[in-house]
Amino acid sequence: MSTTQVRPARSPISRLITPRRTGPRRGSTLLRHLLWVAIAAVAVYFVSYGIDPFRNYQLATVAAYLCVTAGLTMLTGLNGQLSLGHGALMACGAYTVALAQNEFSDRGVLGAWALPVSLALGVLVAALAGALIGVCAARLRGPYLAGVTLAVALVVPAFTTRFAGLFNADQGLSVYVDPAPAALGQYFPPERWQAWIAIGAAMLSLLIVANLVNSRFGRAFKAVRDDEVAAKLAGIHVARTQVLAFVVSAGCAGLGGGVLAVISQSVSPSVFGLTLSLNLLLAIVLGGLGSLFGAAWGALLLVLLPYLTTEVTRGLSLSPGLANKLEGNLPLAIFGLTLIIVMLVAPGGIQDAFRALGRTIRRRF
């Protein structure tokens, strides 16, 4: 506990974060990260062939969430800004992709370029929305910031209803997506194609976030998080740094939302409600705040935990009366219980628990 007396008081968020390994790394950061991406891409390519279509679909969903959690963990973990509105930013991306894809399809101008263009538009719109929120957010702290972003999360259904002609209210829109290229073969499962798209997007956002974090900007993010006055004295423009973090994070959320729209081929406001925003926050905290590996754990949990709880409850044999009461509710209860247990056992998140385990093993041997 001696460290707390020496160091300046930290914000509650940054106290949750374990300090990363210090010391300079040699070589180009970009090159190192590109190598990682290449390895991961090859790995995923083979994995996607080895697993069945439903697992590919789950993989695609994990990747879509990973785009978002990577950006969010940077914003919350490294820049200290809490956002409860990332679900809404995903909606910006998703609706943009939906409208763009359907517009392309209506005009019959679809081609291999259409999907990347739609996704890029989604990122752009979400980043613009993020810039707007970021400018407000840079003036606010703690609960006030949470309040503003919460309002953003809540505004999505109202927005889609007010402009029902464009967004089709609660029912949402279906998204036209071209089938997998014919060159891949007649029996190429569409789920594998979706997984490739989603993984590609996830790799892109991870690459951008990882490079940003390891750059001058990343160091500025952390400086602002730890002590704004000190950061200001060091010549860092605090507000500008915060807005930048928000914009990049929003762009990632837009990409994730867009990818989600592509793989589920539909968008509707209930998908991007407050629950999603809270779940995203939960995912990064549970995975390990501030770490990209933690973001990956979080994305995996978002998909696997509901799936596994349902599987567990299906294994039980219950009387019809009891089943009527429990069906649907029991998975939710198990979900909540798991979260409580994980937070008790590993308060720093899953990635932190693994690091601690690694340290223990190294010390032993």
Partner 1 sequence: MLRIARRGIVVAACLALVAASSACSDEAPSSSGGGTAASVPGVTDTEIVLGTHMPLTGPAAAGYSKISPATKAYFEYVNANGGVHGRKIKYLVEDDGYNPANTQTLVRKLVLEDKVFAILNGLGTPTHTGVLDFLKTQEVPDLFVASGSRSWNQPEKYPTTFGFQPDYTVEGKIIADFVKKTYPGQVVCHMGQDDDFGRDSLAGVEQVLGADGVKEKQKYVTSNTNITPQIQAFKAAGCQVVISATIPAFTALSLGTAAKLGGFKPQWVPSSVGADYTTLSGLLGEGKVLLEGLVAPGYLPVSTDASNPWVQLYQKVNKEYNGDAPFDNNIMFGMTVGYLTVQALLKAGKDLTREGLISAVESGGFKNAAVGPYRYSASDHSGIGGMQMGRVTGGVQAAFGPVVQTDDGAGPVQEYTEAPATPTSNGIPAV
Give the footprint of partner 1 on this chain (CB under 8 A).
26-27, 32, 35, 39, 42-43, 46-47, 49-50, 52-54, 57-58, 61, 157-158, 161, 164, 168-172, 174, 185-191, 260, 264-266, 268-271, 307, 310, 314, 319-324, 327-329, 331-332
Minimal distance in Å, beta carbon 283 to partner 1? Answer: 15
Instruction: Decide whether 81 or 96 has the Cβ nearer to partner 1.
Output: 96
Handedness of CA 323, 328, 334, 340 (dihedral sign): negative
**Measured from the CB of residue 276, what is the shortest distance to partner 1 in angstroms?**
8
Residue 160 Cβ vs partner 1, minimum distance, rounded to whole Å = 9
Which long-range contacts (C-beta less than 8 Å, at least 24 apart) are formed by 284-288? 284/69, 284/72, 284/73, 284/76, 284/77, 285/16, 285/349, 286/339, 286/342, 286/343, 286/349, 286/350, 287/69, 287/73, 287/349, 287/350, 287/351, 288/348, 288/349, 288/350, 288/351, 288/352
Instruction: Work out the angle between the directed axes of helices 142-162 and 86-106 (0-180°, nearest 10).
Output: 30
CB of 39 to partner 1, least distance (A): 5
Cβ-based nearer residue to partner 1, 269 or 290 = 269
188 vs 293, which CB is nearer to partner 1? 188
Closer by beta carbon to partner 1, 103 or else 311: 311
**Cβ-contact 260, 91 below 8 angstroms:** no
Q: How far is the CB of 355 from partner 1 (least distance, A)?
A: 18
In angstroms, the CA 66 to CA 203 distance is 9
Of 52 and 106, the one with the shorter C-beta distance to partner 1 is 52
